[in-house]
Amino acid sequence: MSPEKAQAYWKENISMIFKLLVVWFVVSYGCGILFINELNEFTISGVKLGFWFAQQGAIYVFVVLIFIYVKVMSDIDEKYGVSE
Protein backbone atom coordinates (compact mmCIF):
# COMPACT_ATOMS: atom_id res chain seq x y z
CA MET A 1 0.00 0.00 0.00
CA SER A 2 1.33 3.41 -0.93
CA PRO A 3 1.96 5.95 1.84
CA GLU A 4 -0.79 8.22 0.48
CA LYS A 5 -3.29 5.36 0.45
CA ALA A 6 -2.25 4.30 3.98
CA GLN A 7 -2.67 7.89 5.18
CA ALA A 8 -6.16 8.08 3.66
CA TYR A 9 -7.05 4.69 5.19
CA TRP A 10 -6.07 5.77 8.70
CA LYS A 11 -7.71 9.17 8.30
CA GLU A 12 -11.01 7.51 7.36
CA ASN A 13 -10.60 4.96 10.17
CA ILE A 14 -9.94 7.59 12.85
CA SER A 15 -12.79 9.76 11.55
CA MET A 16 -15.23 6.85 11.82
CA ILE A 17 -14.05 5.96 15.33
CA PHE A 18 -14.40 9.59 16.44
CA LYS A 19 -17.97 9.77 15.13
CA LEU A 20 -18.94 6.56 16.93
CA LEU A 21 -17.37 7.79 20.17
CA VAL A 22 -19.31 11.05 19.92
CA VAL A 23 -22.57 9.10 19.54
CA TRP A 24 -21.66 6.92 22.52
CA PHE A 25 -20.75 9.97 24.63
CA VAL A 26 -24.00 11.79 23.79
CA VAL A 27 -26.08 8.72 24.63
CA SER A 28 -24.25 7.69 27.79
CA TYR A 29 -23.41 11.09 29.28
CA GLY A 30 -26.06 13.24 27.63
CA CYS A 31 -29.08 10.98 28.00
CA GLY A 32 -27.97 9.49 31.31
CA ILE A 33 -26.94 12.73 33.05
CA LEU A 34 -27.52 15.99 31.16
CA PHE A 35 -30.98 15.41 29.67
CA ILE A 36 -32.31 13.13 32.41
CA ASN A 37 -35.04 15.53 33.58
CA GLU A 38 -36.44 15.93 30.07
CA LEU A 39 -36.26 12.19 29.38
CA ASN A 40 -37.88 11.28 32.70
CA GLU A 41 -41.15 12.71 31.39
CA PHE A 42 -41.46 9.50 29.34
CA THR A 43 -41.61 5.94 30.61
CA ILE A 44 -40.76 2.49 29.28
CA SER A 45 -42.70 -0.26 31.06
CA GLY A 46 -43.13 1.96 34.10
CA VAL A 47 -39.46 2.99 34.24
CA LYS A 48 -38.47 6.60 33.61
CA LEU A 49 -36.62 6.98 30.30
CA GLY A 50 -33.69 8.92 31.78
CA PHE A 51 -33.07 6.20 34.36
CA TRP A 52 -33.40 3.53 31.66
CA PHE A 53 -30.76 5.23 29.50
CA ALA A 54 -28.42 5.58 32.46
CA GLN A 55 -28.80 1.91 33.44
CA GLN A 56 -29.37 -0.02 30.20
CA GLY A 57 -29.85 2.21 27.18
CA ALA A 58 -26.23 3.27 26.92
CA ILE A 59 -25.13 -0.38 27.02
CA TYR A 60 -27.53 -1.31 24.22
CA VAL A 61 -26.33 1.61 22.12
CA PHE A 62 -22.71 0.58 22.75
CA VAL A 63 -23.41 -2.96 21.50
CA VAL A 64 -25.13 -1.56 18.39
CA LEU A 65 -22.13 0.72 17.79
CA ILE A 66 -19.84 -2.34 17.88
CA PHE A 67 -21.83 -3.94 15.05
CA ILE A 68 -21.81 -0.66 13.11
CA TYR A 69 -18.03 -0.44 13.60
CA VAL A 70 -17.53 -3.96 12.26
CA LYS A 71 -19.65 -3.28 9.17
CA VAL A 72 -18.12 0.11 8.38
CA MET A 73 -14.57 -1.12 9.05
CA SER A 74 -15.13 -4.06 6.70
CA ASP A 75 -16.26 -1.64 4.00
CA ILE A 76 -13.22 0.59 4.58
CA ASP A 77 -10.90 -2.43 4.46
CA GLU A 78 -12.39 -3.55 1.15
CA LYS A 79 -12.19 -0.02 -0.24
CA TYR A 80 -8.45 0.14 0.46
CA GLY A 81 -7.71 -3.50 -0.38
CA VAL A 82 -6.67 -4.65 3.10
CA SER A 83 -9.59 -7.00 3.84
CA GLU A 84 -8.94 -10.55 4.92
Q: What is the pLDDT of residue 51?
A: 83
Q: How far apart are CA 1 and CA 49, in angstroms?
A: 48
CA angle 83, 60, 11 (to 5 degrees): 35
Contact 8, 80 (CB under 8 A): yes
Amino acid identity of 5? Answer: K
Question: What is the pTM assigned to this prediction?
Answer: 0.77
Q: How many domains does the chain have?
A: 1
Which stretches in the chain have pLDDT values below 70?
A: none
The domain in which residue 73 lies consists of: 3-80
